Amino acid sequence: MGNRLSSHSKTMEVVRKFGFKFTKSLGQNFLIDDNIIDKIVAGANPGSEDNIIEVGPGIGTLTRELASRAKKVVAIEIDKNLIPILDETLSDLENVSVVNEDIMKADIKQIADKYFDGEPFKLVANLPYYITTPIIMRFLEEDVDVTDIVVMVQKEVAERMNANPGKKDYGALSVAVQYHCDTEIVAKVPRHLFVPQPNVDSIVIALRVRPEKKYKTDNEELFFKIVKAAFGQRRKTLLNSLTSMGILDKVEIGKILKESQVEEKRRGETLSLDEYAILANCMNKKLGEV
């Protein structure tokens, strides 16, 4: 684990050597703390059989520590100005491939097939703040074999992903993530541990993708439509927010809520994922009958 890059002085030495200019709009805040890097690595727990995709390697600080333990690391970086830097900082590691692409446009399945022979992989990253949620949802919703997602994200986003029903942070993102994963807070990271310093604090969160479905939904699309409607109008009762979906009238929605044993005056933020699943299955059954 020699040649660590994660001190302020080492990072600035590399940045100056290459005349690199930080681009704020790309969320370029580089981590400068060994302890946090170690916590991310521990949360990902890469073994010699593990494949890893890292999004946004920056100058390769986390990449080096992952590669020294994992079987293979593919680092996807959008900024072409970082590529010559990575060529140098990762030059002694044979199990790393750097791909110069935008993660939102990259074909993740093709990358996993090409570099990992289609084997499962873990996503590990200090994500760029401006697209944390779309990146995570891409990996969860596409047909790719990701087993663990261990990522640094803005504190508030991590709190939403980790929130339980009834809590103020509980929302559509909590349901979307917890539908697929068990969540675990790995570390809290204050803003002064990055260069340049961002305006927000961060959290490292681990999302453990369940191999089997925990929530049995007959119609996943309808489940998420209901969740969206229920959280879209937070102040409305479920009776009203589900009626405004425009699929069934108030009387029918009232019957479905009763059948699902959900009090019609409750609001979306109080329902557990189990309750949403029951509700969605009842509505799906009813739609099949009409």
Cα 262 from Cα 246, distance rounded (Å): 20
Cβ closer to ligand SAM: 102 or 274? Answer: 102
Cis omega (within 30 of 0) on the bond before 84? Answer: no
Closest approach, Cβ 147 to ligand SAM, in A, equals: 20
B/e letters for 71-84, b = 16+ CB within 10 Å, e = fewer, are bbbbbbbbbeebee
Contact flag: residue 46 with ligand SAM (CB under 6 A): no
Subset of 215-244 contacting ligand SAM (CB under 6 A): none
Distance, in Å, from the CA atom of 147 to the CA atom of 158, rounded to the nearest integer, reads 18
Q: Applying CB under 6 A, which of residues 27, 46, 171, 268 lies at the interface with ligand SAM?
A: 27
Q: Which of residues 106-135 bind ligand SAM (CB under 6 A)?
A: 126, 128, 131
* 30 touches ligand SAM by CB under 6 A: yes
Minimum separation from the CB atom of position 77 to ligand SAM (A): 5
**Is residue 43 close enough to count as binding ligand SAM by CB under 6 A?**
no
Nearer to ligand SAM, 135 or 177 (CB): 135
**Among residues 14, 44, 52, 62, the one that binds ligand SAM under rule CB under 6 A:** 62
Angle at 46 between CA 134 and CA 201, to 5 degrees: 45
| Least Cβ distance, residue 261 to ligand SAM (angstroms) | 44
- Is the distance from CB of 274 to CB of 212 less than 8 angstroms? no
| Phi, psi dihedral angles at 51 (to 5 degrees) | -100, 145
Residue among 273, 157, 162 at smallest CA distance from 220: 273
65 touches ligand SAM by CB under 6 A: no
Kindly list the residues in this chain that would bind ligand SAM in the complex (CB under 6 A): 26-31, 55-58, 61-62, 76-79, 82, 102-104, 126, 128, 131
